[in-house]
Structure formats: C-alpha cells, structure tokens
Structure 1
Amino acid sequence: MENLNEYKYQLLLTLVIVIVMSTIIFSIKRAIKKFSFVKAIDVNRRKIIFILTYLVVYILFGALLAVVWGVDFNRLSIFISSILAVLGVGFFAQWSLLSNLTASVILFFNHPVRIGSRIRILDKDFELIGEVKDITGFYFFMKTDKGEIITFPNSLIMQKGIEILKDEESPQA
C-alpha cells in the first residue's frame, strides 16, 4: 500500500495522458476518415496514413510517459539522440525508402490522382497512358493502354508531370 501512495501522482498523470492520447487518436482517425471520404481515397492508402500518424503519436506520448515516471531527461535525450543517429545513418543509406514514404503522404493529402484515374505521365522519352491501379506506401502501380503493368516509386511520381485524362481524351487502343 505504501508503494501505491508513493506513485499516486504518476498513476494519475498516466491515466490523464492515456485519456488525452486516446482522444487525440480518435480525433485524428475521424479527421483522416472524413478527409479520405471527401477526396475519395482508397482504404489501403488510408491505412498507411493511419500507421504513420499512430507511430508519431505513440512516440510522443511514450516520451511524455517516460518523463512523468521520472526518467532522467538528460539520459533520455542521449538515448533518443543515439537512436535517431542510428536511424539517420540507416535512412541516409536507404534514402529512397524515406522519400517514398514522404511522397506517399503527399500523394494522399495533396495530389489529385486517385486509383482508377486515367493519366498520362509526361516524359520526353516515353509515352505512358493508362489507369492508376494502386498506390501503396512505396509504389505507384499503373496499367497502360497496351496492357503493361508499370510500377514507379512514389518519389518519382512526385517528380514527373502527370496529366489527368477525361474519358473522351483517352486514345483509342
């Protein structure tokens, strides 16, 4: 019973933090669902955004709980900076992974291309016209009018010009 009285303040703060975190996650989930409904975004793309958002929220609230439970802030900051240094070296070595995830988030929120859209990728070397089949966390899948399935990294899609075609503009195959 002595331990319970000793940690009453931390337990109360932990309960408050869990309630606040749950409320924030519920609000974010509702906002992303509403945004994806308005923009007609595919369920699989929405899942990627949920995962990335939850990861950020859990890391922030985990750090906050560590501070509440008396973890020394200097030691915690050294630990976190060490982890970030290792991750930074890893992401620098695999820069395309990070850039593709970032491009996926940008495609989700700000790009007008949707699954099922007929598009033309503006490239001086290749004439690529077809339908968008899927957009994942790393890749953009397109089926050309010739029946080819082509995949692009999301970061490359952000660099290319894309023309969204209407049905009457599509060339007859």
Structure 2
Amino acid sequence: MKYNLIFNTIISGIIVITLILSIQFIKSGVKKFSISKGIDKNRRKVILNASYLCIYLLSGVLLALTWGIKFNEFSLFISSILAVLGVGFFAQWSLLSNLTSSVILFFYHPMRIGDKIKIIDKDYNWTGTVVDITGFYVFLRTDLGENITIPTSLVLQRGIEILKE
C-alpha cells in the first residue's frame, strides 16, 4: 500500500512537471509563430486558452487514472459528459464551428489585421479592411465607414481575395 502511494505520487509529479513544460513550450511556440506571421495579441490569447484547456483536461484525466479511478467507470463518466456536450454543441453548432474556424484562420490563413479583403459571395459585396479577428467573428470596416461583422466559419466557407496589405 505504501509502495502504491509513493508510485502514484511520483507519477503525479511527472504529470504536473510535464504539464508545466507543455504550457511553456506551447506558449513560446505560439508566440514565435504569431510574431513571425504578424498576428495580433488577442488572436494569440484565443489559441493559447484553447490549448491550455486541452492540456488541463488531458492532465486531469491522467491524474484521475493514476489515483485509481477505474478506466471502465471513467470512460462511462466521460461518455455521458460528452453525450450531454454533444447535444449542447449540436444545438449551438455555429459556436463550435466559429471557434474551430478561428483556430484555422490563426495558423493557416494569410489574412491579417489591417489587410483590405473582399469576401467572394454572389449575394453580398463584402469588401473592407480587417479591423479585428476574434474567436467567433471577423470585423471589417468598409471604405464608406460601415462596420461589418462576419462569423469566422463564413469566412472559411467563402473565397477571400486580399486586395492590399
């Protein structure tokens, strides 16, 4: 019994140290990436918070399994929680898709704050300067001074032409 306690404490320490090192690694990696690509600080915060959430959840699961929660019971609990979240996310699908789109825009899209863009859509003429990109919306200001708010998922679904940087 004493051996189990010492072993679990050591494993928990390793998990916590790995958690701290992972956070530092992700923080510096995202910071370097965002500086090299000229990405705004607020967009970096959204990505960091999403990354931290994933790391904390994974660490919590590992700690729970280390301290004796049986995998069968834990998987039943997690599947129940995921079922409830799945129903909630299905009801709010646009929120989840916008958040995911924001992460994709952060890492893979050349559009930056200050760029003049045209979102190609047959029904609307959305042309303007990118003012801000948040976790859910892209804010544009047109040449006429109008402010346009477009969900990030819509930005990924439509073609974008960068007119001038």
Task: Give the TM-score taking structure 1 as reference length.
Answer: 0.91
Q: Which runs of 5+ in 1 are unaligned?
A: 168-173
CA distance in 1, matches of 2:154, 2:140: 13
1:125 is displaced (CA, Å) by: 2.6
What is the aligned partner in structure 2 of residue 45 from structure 1?
Answer: 43
What is the aligned partner in structure 2 of residue 110 from structure 1?
Answer: 108
1:30 is displaced (CA, Å) by: 0.8
RMSD: 1.4
Correspondent of 1:129 among 122, 127, 130: 127
Change (3 A) 1:12 1:113: same
Residues 29-81 of structure 1, C-alpha deviations (whole Å, 9 max, x = no match): 11111110111000000000001001111111110000110011111000000
1:122 is displaced (CA, Å) by: 1.5
1:101 is displaced (CA, Å) by: 0.4
CA distance in 2, matches of 1:12, 1:157: 47
State whether structure 2 residue 90 is matched by structure 1 residue 95: no
What is the aligned partner in structure 2 of residue 32 from structure 1?
Answer: 30
CA distance in 2, matches of 1:50, 1:41: 13
What is the aligned partner in structure 2 of residue 86 from structure 1?
Answer: 84
1:110 is displaced (CA, Å) by: 0.4
What is the aligned partner in structure 2 of residue 119 from structure 1?
Answer: 117
What is the aligned partner in structure 2 of residue 162 from structure 1?
Answer: 160
1:124 is displaced (CA, Å) by: 2.1
Identity of aligned residues (%): 58
CA distance in 1, matches of 2:109, 2:28: 21
State whether structure 2 residue 125 is matched by structure 1 residue 146: no
1:16 is displaced (CA, Å) by: 1.1
CA distance in 2, matches of 1:139, 1:87: 23
What is the aligned partner in structure 1 of residue 64 from structure 2?
Answer: 66
CA distance in 2, matches of 1:4, 1:115: 57
CA distance in 2, matches of 1:62, 1:36: 28
Instruction: Map 1:7-26; keep pairs closer than 5 Å.
Output: 7-26=5-24
What is the aligned partner in structure 2 of residue 171 from structure 1?
Answer: none
1:127 is displaced (CA, Å) by: 2.4
Which structure 1 residue ranges, 4+ long, deviate > 3 Å from structure 2?
A: 3-6
